[in-house]
A and B are shown apart, each in its own frame.
Chain A
């Protein structure tokens, strides 16, 4: 937009002709927003925010993404790689379209510190980036101090989490392939909240699917730190009782205290220790470390409280946080789908704020999460979240949302279609 036009629009607004943004030509764009946005993290939250800020500002806002990984590897669907019905390449997507189609700048680097006063980010390479608005989508870090024997790289290479898709996903698959028939795979689940509530139970199903076909004398043990299955409980329990009868055993109230790496033994607060042939530990989690540097970790020393109109930190100005790193609102899962939805509310708000306008006062989020019971049968959970002006938070709409009546193949098809569309919506 030319300066003359901007001034003209201001004058028009001041003259009382209604909101300037309601004018045609601005109605589907950012209304001439400019400025510099730095996004840390190119996952479901960060990549979506970068794309939508460029798209909705008509390229007016300069966006740089800092992401160390050369490619995007999806956590959703990665349990199918562990079960063996998909390969890691099937859940890997290039970052190329973000610069090519949207003019997003991508730096393959790691953010090491944030100075919110000077509004700068330092990178591992030594480069410094200035921002008008900073978007942190750092995902999770593991709290290794809660599993002391795993607090070193050597142990972490033997007892895997595979809770960040990539090399660990492939390594866990390899451990299962190498395990002799008659062995035990055990998965330890931390007390909620953690990334992807139904994910551990889906993983148990996928490992059982593999065992049922390739290693029928083997067992899957679910050692849950929670008192019950945290998501889609009746649907998963039905699968374990029927499809995977005699393979899967569920044990609640198993709060992990440590492991013995050499003997692959999990130790618990109250319950007896469990030795496994393949031990899969999901440690307790918190917002990625860069959030700490930015000073936005405000909840329980773990998560970041945000203003749900903008996803701006409640504590640090001009810093927005998306995805698994935030202190969730009631009924809001830490999911990739949700991170993508956070990102769009944030993108619209950042463009508005950079243009000196108020953010949308009525944001809405939806969530749809598919879990694979077999290689093609799926169950879903979904919800819609509307902003409550009085409570100043996003709340699930009562009477909306729900789960599948039973696992089914129709939704298996929808789940693969969902993956294609959300990967494109985030990255293409």
Chain B
């Protein structure tokens, strides 16, 4: 069981970040956006099929690929069309979230 002192310590350490993030924005935005990818790339980005896993991939790599798809400079079947549906900010959030997941 977590105790108050532990939480307190973590909370104090995180206050700066929490404040920066306090414009009512949801800390689960990255998670929720990444869940839109799971149908093809697996739950939490761990694929059980031929399509690549995204869990644990470096954030920069995912952002670069998504931007290349978005610009159309990297050929693909669905990804050139889907990438255009996400804002640059959303791509950053999704990439950061996948990068933080454990690859299996």
Contact = CB atoms under 8 A, between A and B. Distances in A.
Does A pair with B?
yes
Interface of A: 1-2, 4-5, 8-9, 12, 17-19, 21-28, 52, 55-56, 337, 340-341, 344-345, 348, 358, 360-366, 368, 380, 382-386, 396-397, 399-402, 404, 408, 410-411, 413-414, 416-422, 424-425, 428
A344 B82 contact: no
Contact of B10 (A25, A344, A416, A419): A25
A8 B9 CA distance: 12
Nearest to B14: A24
Contact of B24 (A19, A340, A396): A19
Interface string B1-41: 11110011011011101110110101111011101111111
Contacts of A22: 14, 17-18, 21-22, 27
A27 B4 contact: no
A421 B36 contact: no
For the side of the interface on B, what is the size category?
35 or more
A418 B51 contact: yes
Nearest to B13: A24
Shortest beta-carbon contacts, A-B, top 9: A384-B85, A417-B49, A400-B85, A18-B22, A420-B49, A400-B84, A18-B18, A417-B50, A397-B85
Contacts of A361: 26
Contacts of A397: 84-85
Interface in B60-91: 77-78, 81-86, 90
B85 A18 contact: no
Contacts of A424: 42-43, 48
B22 A360 contact: no
Given A5-B2, A363-B32, A384-B82, A421 B42 contact: yes
A421 B38 CA distance: 7
Contacts of B83: 400
Given A5-B2, A12-B11, A400-B81, A17 B18 contact: yes
Contacts of B77: 380, 404, 408, 410-411, 414
A52 B35 contact: yes
A383 B81 CA distance: 8
13 contacts: A22-B21, A23-B10, A23-B14, A28-B28, A348-B31, A364-B32, A384-B36, A404-B77, A414-B40, A417-B49, A421-B42, A422-B39, A424-B43
Contact of B41 (A4, A340, A385, A421): A421
B25 to A, nearest CB: 8
Given A19-B18, A52-B35, A425 B43 contact: yes
Given A18-B15, A22-B17, A366 B82 contact: yes
Given A27-B27, A360-B29, A368-B78, 11 more contacts: A17-B15, A18-B18, A22-B17, A23-B14, A25-B2, A368-B82, A385-B85, A400-B81, A417-B51, A421-B48, A422-B40
B50 A416 contact: yes
Contact of A401 (B42, B82, B90): B82
Interface string B45-63: 0011111000000000000
A344 B81 contact: no
A383 B84 CA distance: 10
A93 to B, nearest CB: 12
- Which of B13, B41, B78 lies at the interface centre, i.e. has the most chain A CB atoms within 10 A of its CB? B78
A364 B39 CA distance: 14
Contacts of A18: 15, 18-19, 21-22
A348 B28 contact: yes
A10 to B, nearest CB: 12
A425 B43 CA distance: 5
A366 B84 CA distance: 11
Nearest to B22: A18
A383 B39 CA distance: 13
Contacts of B81: 382, 400-402
Nearest to B77: A411
